[in-house]
Amino acid sequence: MNPFRADMQSDRTPEPATVVVFGASGDLTQRKLIPALYNLLAERHLSRVAIVGTARTPMSDEAFRDLALTAINTHSRQRPADEHVWATLSRAIHYHAGSYDDPASFVSLREKLEAIEQLHHLPPNRLFYLSTPPSAFAPIIRNLGASGLVPPGVSPFSRVIIEKPFGIDLDSAIALNGDVHEVLQESQIFRIDHYLGKETVQNLLVFRFANGIFEPLWNNKYIDHVQITGAETLGVEGRGAYFDHAGILRDMVQNHLFQVLCLAALEPPSSFRANAVRDEKLKVLEALRPVDPDDLEARVIRGQYRTGSVLGKEVPGYIDEPGVAPASQTETFVALKLFIDNWRWGGVPFYLRSAKRMPKRVTEIAIHFKNVPHRLFAGGDGGGNVLAIRIQPDEGISMSIGSKVPGQALEIAPVTMEFRYASSFGVEAPEAYERLLLDALSGDGTLFTRGDEVEASWRFITPIHEAWRNGDIPLHTYEAGSWGPDAAMELLLRDGRRWRRP
């Protein structure tokens, strides 16, 4: 049997388990995690599951159930909650109040889990989700280990999902990996990046390796350059204090865009098993050409939005946002010119950009193919061939080709062939967290980030932050609602290229 087909079977039902969510009173739990677990149960991807929320906030089981029902009715793609599904799920929802750095709290959590498993006739399979501030990751994992809640072994299983950010630089990522590995085996650790749960991101591998017409062209012989864009219309939205210490390079590029880059650029893995795929992703990150400090301004542009208009609404500049320091030098825009120094991609520039307060919300990969070696037609070349893979919103793939305009003149214009998930399959794609929770419960780490991947990405990113901090590197400004500072446009214009307008 073809190993890809064998490994990519998604019609699976994990063993019954208990999902324990740390940070259960937080926004992520209400908007994403509870609705995702409900949808998985409603669509029969889960057989039996219990949900235990835990946080410092005192709350009864009934109060947490009311919170969960409100979350489902507000945020689930299947709403309002089905009466029968909710009746089943609500009985299995519980709450435990406790401190993340108090060992006694974890002993009482273990006792409560044992009672819940006995009540619902569940095996001691446990998935712990750390939806907390990063400062709580190490104390929680340390106390999980000390209380005996995460023993090694595959049956029964104990697994831990860790939200981003995993470190703020190379040193902190190495230290956190060390703390985690003192308690957990790598196979028990699921570092989550919700971008990898999106249908179109997963489809990158299918698109490349299940279609014989594309992979032979996926190299420096035929591809001129690649653009990856992650644009948001939003500002910091009440997260000013957090974002002002992070910046867009940490918040978006080191994780989301680098993961997309890896899937677009990796070599064919030997199978679709987790480590085979992650081995190839690691090779991409290790092949990234480091940014020399003397070359920083030519390869990395940073910017910060000022007052402007987004979607017809006047918005304040970044330094006027709540929680942001008045003299902040934090970047809300970054554009990078990267090279992957290997045989497939040698000489092909990858242009990445990510920003807040852009004219539209869009994440896409655009593969720009080389022009024909000799132009036969004087009427233009149709704008070149571009393969655009839209990750969000309106997930889909489009291909731009040159075609003759009807009429007597020989005029060439670009036309687009495309497919959209919503219209092509007639079904609503599952949310990213649904896929990732299902994978973690099934023990499949393919769409999660391995520890050495995290360190490799920080190994590239950290010197950029150090150069910004130590050197006289300009922070450009751009009007909110524009596509970024002029310097970012010049980054491509110097190479005779332009940013694609998504």
Answer yes or no: are the C-beta atoms of 90 and 62 closer than 8 Å: no
Answer yes or no: are the C-beta atoms of 160 and 188 closer than 8 Å: yes
256 included as an active-site residue: yes
Q: Which residue has the tokens 């149960």?
A: 41
Q: How far apart are CA 114 and CA 16, in angstroms?
A: 14
Residue whose C-alpha is closest to residue 352's, from 231, 246, 475: 231
CA 61, 66, 68, 73: dihedral to nearest 10 degrees?
170
Grouping H, G, I as helix, E, B as strand and the rest as coil, residue 333 is strand
Q: How far apart are CA 118 and CA 206, in angstroms?
A: 42
Token pair of 363, please? 């994440």
Q: Which DSSP string do the residues of 38-56 spell out, in sequence order?
A: HHHHHTTS-SSEEEEEEES
Token pair of 397, please? 């793939």
Residue whose C-alpha is closest to residue 350's, from 492, 195, 152, 213: 492
First to last CA, the chain: 40
Catalytic residue among 96, 256, 368, 465: 256
Q: How far apart are CA 281 and CA 288, in angstroms?
A: 11
Residue whose C-alpha is closest to residue 219's, from 397, 370, 383: 370
Catalytic positions are: 256
